[in-house]
Amino acid sequence: MPPFKDHLVTSTNRTSKDYRDLHDWIDNDPDMDVKIDRHSLNSLAKNIDYVRATWGDEAVAEFILHVVQDVEFRMGDVFKYFGINPRI
């Protein structure tokens, strides 16, 4: 996954806010199972509800983009191998 600070930079570039609390909630829980759940596509709807209630609608977009950025990072070699452009 990209470093925590990279998520802060990309949020700042998109919104002028770093959403540090949101990214901290996603990435820095000491319980690895919780961290995995917050990145899980299976838990996306539940986590979106929490993010919206806690940080608002704009944060929902930042949450989804954080997860997408992490998936792209982890899957980069697979995408390249199969000639997939994940940004289409």
Please check the confidence at residue 82 and state whether its pLDDT lies above 90.
Answer: no
Are 64 and 48 in contact, with CB atoms under 8 Å apart?
yes
Q: How is 34-75 classified by DSSP, letter by letter?
A: HHHHHH-GGGHHHHHHHHHHHH-HHHHHHHHHHHHHHHHHHH
Determine the structural domain holding residue 26 and report its residue range. 4-76
Residue 82 lies in a domain: no
Are 46 and 82 in contact, with CB atoms under 8 Å apart?
no
Residue 51 lies in a domain: yes
Residue 72 lies in a domain: yes
- Structural domains of the chain, count: 1
pLDDT in tens, 25-60: 999 999 999 999 999 999 999 999 999 999 999 999
Residue 9 lies in a domain: yes
- pTM equals 0.83
Residue 49 lies in a domain: yes
1: its two tokens: 């996954």
Residue 84 lies in a domain: no
Residue 21 lies in a domain: yes
**Percent of the chain beyond pLDDT 70?**
97
